[in-house]
Amino acid sequence: MTLAEFQDLLDAHGVHLSLWPDEPRQRAEEFLATEPIARQRLAEAQRFERLIARQMNVQPRALDASTGRVLRALGGELPRQRGRRWSRLALTWPSALLAFDLAPARLRIAALAGVAVLGVALGLLGPDVGSSDSRLGVALAASDVDLAAVFEPEPLTGVRP
């Protein structure tokens, strides 16, 4: 291990070697045991970390007042939450459907279903009135009106009807 590598490990993992990952810790301990300069670097790093940590742990007097203001501001009515109504509906819709009371409308639903069945039956079994109906074909053939001429342009002006 080089001194630069040791310094990087100190910076990356901190000065408490017991918290380091096993592999670099073992190598660092061997390095510390043999290199006085490594022990000096460790002592410097410990002083440096104490300086940083002490500054970081200074709490301003105003922090308590700020905390109070934030909590008071949240003390009033809270806004509506997002996603709660839909997630609740997603979880409860099967039981909601099962619990739906059809009793008051049972007769009307039966009548509606009967009409629907009748409509389907008539559609399948009733008289065929499609375009291939022979009576309709005869009626068109007998007509004097030339349908194609209706859509022809005016011979003189070229204007379409």
Q: Which residues bind another protein (CB under 8 A)?
A: 8, 11-14, 19, 44, 46-64, 66-67, 69-71, 73-75, 78-84, 87
> In this structure, are residues 38 and 15 in contact, taking their beta carbons and an 8 Å threshold?
no
Q: How far is the CB of 18 from another protein (least distance, A)?
A: 13
Nearer of residues 37 and 52 to another protein, judged by Cβ: 52
Nearer of residues 58 and 142 to another protein, judged by Cβ: 58
| Two tokens, residue 121 | 């039956």
Q: How far is the CB of 111 from another protein (least distance, A)?
A: 43
Q: How far is the CB of 27 from another protein (least distance, A)?
A: 16
Nearer of residues 21 and 127 to another protein, judged by Cβ: 21
Q: How far is the CB of 95 from another protein (least distance, A)?
A: 17
Q: List the one residue out of 6, 49, 55 whose CA is nearest residue 27.
A: 6
Q: At what angle do helices 36-56 and 22-34 cross, to 10 degrees?
A: 120
Q: How far is the CB of 74 from another protein (least distance, A)?
A: 6
Nearer of residues 76 and 104 to another protein, judged by Cβ: 76
Q: List the one residue out of 1, 52, 50 whose CA is nearest residue 24.
A: 1
> In this structure, are residues 153 and 160 in contact, taking their beta carbons and an 8 Å threshold?
yes
Give residues with Cβ within 8 angstroms of 29, minimum separation 6: 17
Nearer of residues 48 and 122 to another protein, judged by Cβ: 48
Cα 29 to Cα 2, 36, 55, 94, 128, distances in angstroms = 13, 12, 29, 64, 98
